[in-house]
Amino acid sequence: MLDARNVATNRPSRKLDHRNLGRFKVIDIGKNGSAVKLELPPSFKIFPWFHPVLLHHADPPVLGQEEEEPGPLEVHEGEAEWEVEEVLNSRVFKGKKDPLTGKREYLQYMVKWRGWPD
Protein backbone atom coordinates (compact mmCIF):
# COMPACT_ATOMS: atom_id res chain seq x y z
CA MET A 1 0.00 0.00 0.00
CA LEU A 2 1.15 3.53 -0.78
CA ASP A 3 1.11 6.29 1.83
CA ALA A 4 -1.19 8.99 0.41
CA ARG A 5 0.35 12.00 2.19
CA ASN A 6 2.21 13.18 -0.95
CA VAL A 7 -0.50 12.33 -3.49
CA ALA A 8 -2.84 15.16 -4.51
CA THR A 9 -6.53 14.28 -4.72
CA ASN A 10 -9.78 16.12 -5.46
CA ARG A 11 -11.15 15.47 -1.98
CA PRO A 12 -12.25 18.67 -0.24
CA SER A 13 -10.53 17.77 3.05
CA ARG A 14 -7.18 16.03 3.59
CA LYS A 15 -8.36 15.04 7.05
CA LEU A 16 -11.12 12.88 5.56
CA ASP A 17 -9.05 11.61 2.63
CA HIS A 18 -7.72 8.05 2.39
CA ARG A 19 -4.48 7.59 4.32
CA ASN A 20 -3.26 4.75 2.08
CA LEU A 21 -3.91 3.95 -1.54
CA GLY A 22 -4.64 0.57 -3.12
CA ARG A 23 -2.72 -2.62 -3.42
CA PHE A 24 -0.12 -2.16 -6.13
CA LYS A 25 2.25 -4.64 -7.69
CA VAL A 26 5.98 -3.91 -7.30
CA ILE A 27 7.53 -3.85 -10.78
CA ASP A 28 11.14 -2.88 -10.05
CA ILE A 29 13.46 -1.99 -7.19
CA GLY A 30 16.11 0.69 -7.73
CA LYS A 31 19.82 0.43 -6.93
CA ASN A 32 20.49 -0.24 -3.25
CA GLY A 33 16.73 -0.44 -2.63
CA SER A 34 16.48 3.36 -2.57
CA ALA A 35 13.31 3.46 -4.70
CA VAL A 36 10.49 1.13 -5.70
CA LYS A 37 8.50 1.23 -8.95
CA LEU A 38 4.80 0.38 -8.63
CA GLU A 39 2.29 -0.68 -11.27
CA LEU A 40 -0.21 2.18 -11.00
CA PRO A 41 -3.49 2.52 -12.91
CA PRO A 42 -3.39 5.07 -15.79
CA SER A 43 -5.82 7.34 -13.93
CA PHE A 44 -3.18 8.15 -11.28
CA LYS A 45 -0.98 10.18 -13.70
CA ILE A 46 1.92 10.36 -11.23
CA PHE A 47 5.53 9.19 -11.39
CA PRO A 48 5.55 5.49 -10.40
CA TRP A 49 8.79 5.51 -8.33
CA PHE A 50 8.49 5.90 -4.54
CA HIS A 51 10.82 5.80 -1.54
CA PRO A 52 10.38 2.57 0.46
CA VAL A 53 9.38 4.59 3.57
CA LEU A 54 6.10 5.47 1.77
CA LEU A 55 5.22 1.79 1.20
CA HIS A 56 3.94 -0.90 3.54
CA HIS A 57 2.39 -4.33 3.26
CA ALA A 58 -1.37 -4.55 3.04
CA ASP A 59 -3.00 -6.40 5.91
CA PRO A 60 -4.37 -9.80 4.95
CA PRO A 61 -8.14 -10.19 5.22
CA VAL A 62 -9.35 -11.19 8.68
CA LEU A 63 -10.92 -14.60 9.23
CA GLY A 64 -14.17 -14.83 7.28
CA GLN A 65 -13.49 -11.68 5.26
CA GLU A 66 -12.94 -12.07 1.54
CA GLU A 67 -12.09 -9.60 -1.17
CA GLU A 68 -15.10 -9.52 -3.43
CA GLU A 69 -15.79 -8.03 -6.82
CA PRO A 70 -18.42 -5.29 -6.76
CA GLY A 71 -21.92 -6.68 -7.07
CA PRO A 72 -24.35 -5.92 -9.88
CA LEU A 73 -26.04 -2.52 -10.02
CA GLU A 74 -29.41 -2.27 -8.34
CA VAL A 75 -32.22 -1.64 -10.81
CA HIS A 76 -35.24 0.19 -9.42
CA GLU A 77 -38.52 -0.48 -11.16
CA GLY A 78 -39.79 2.35 -13.34
CA GLU A 79 -36.56 4.36 -13.17
CA ALA A 80 -34.24 4.87 -16.13
CA GLU A 81 -30.65 3.78 -15.57
CA TRP A 82 -27.67 5.22 -17.44
CA GLU A 83 -24.03 4.22 -17.51
CA VAL A 84 -21.24 6.78 -17.13
CA GLU A 85 -18.83 6.60 -20.07
CA GLU A 86 -16.30 9.15 -18.82
CA VAL A 87 -15.82 11.69 -16.03
CA LEU A 88 -15.10 14.96 -17.86
CA ASN A 89 -14.49 17.34 -14.96
CA SER A 90 -15.03 17.90 -11.25
CA ARG A 91 -15.30 20.94 -9.00
CA VAL A 92 -15.88 21.92 -5.41
CA PHE A 93 -19.27 23.68 -5.39
CA LYS A 94 -20.12 26.22 -2.71
CA GLY A 95 -23.84 26.34 -2.04
CA LYS A 96 -26.37 26.28 0.77
CA LYS A 97 -25.47 24.57 4.02
CA ASP A 98 -26.21 20.85 3.96
CA PRO A 99 -28.49 20.02 6.93
CA LEU A 100 -26.89 16.58 7.41
CA THR A 101 -23.19 17.41 7.20
CA GLY A 102 -23.26 21.13 7.97
CA LYS A 103 -20.91 21.83 5.06
CA ARG A 104 -21.37 24.45 2.39
CA GLU A 105 -18.95 22.83 -0.07
CA TYR A 106 -19.35 19.56 -1.91
CA LEU A 107 -17.82 17.84 -4.91
CA GLN A 108 -19.70 17.85 -8.24
CA TYR A 109 -18.86 15.82 -11.34
CA MET A 110 -19.48 16.49 -15.03
CA VAL A 111 -19.94 13.17 -16.82
CA LYS A 112 -20.50 11.89 -20.34
CA TRP A 113 -23.32 9.35 -20.37
CA ARG A 114 -22.94 6.27 -22.57
CA GLY A 115 -25.40 6.41 -25.48
CA TRP A 116 -26.15 10.15 -25.18
CA PRO A 117 -25.02 12.53 -27.95
CA ASP A 118 -22.25 15.03 -27.20
The domain segmentation of the chain, as residue ranges, is: 2-54, 84-113
Backbone phi, psi, residue 61, to 5°: -60, 145
User: For residues 44 and 22, is the Cβ–Cβ distance under 8 A?
Assistant: no
Considering only CA atoms, which of 105, 103, 84, 104 is closest in space to residue 10? 105
Per-residue confidence in pLDDT tens, the chain, 118 aa = 888 888 877 777 878 788 888 888 899 998 888 899 999 888 778 899 999 999 988 777 777 766 655 444 455 566 666 788 888 998 888 888 777 777 888 788 888 888 777 6
Q: Do the bridges between strand 49-50 and strand 105-113 make them parallel or antiparallel, or are there none, so unpaired?
A: unpaired
User: For residues 6 and 19, is the Cβ–Cβ distance under 8 A?
Assistant: no
Alpha helices in the chain (DSSP H): none
The CA radius of gyration of the chain, in Å to the nearest whole number, is 19
Q: What angle do CA 22, 112, 85 make, to 5 degrees?
A: 50
Paired residues of 105 in beta bridges = 94
pLDDT score at 79: 65
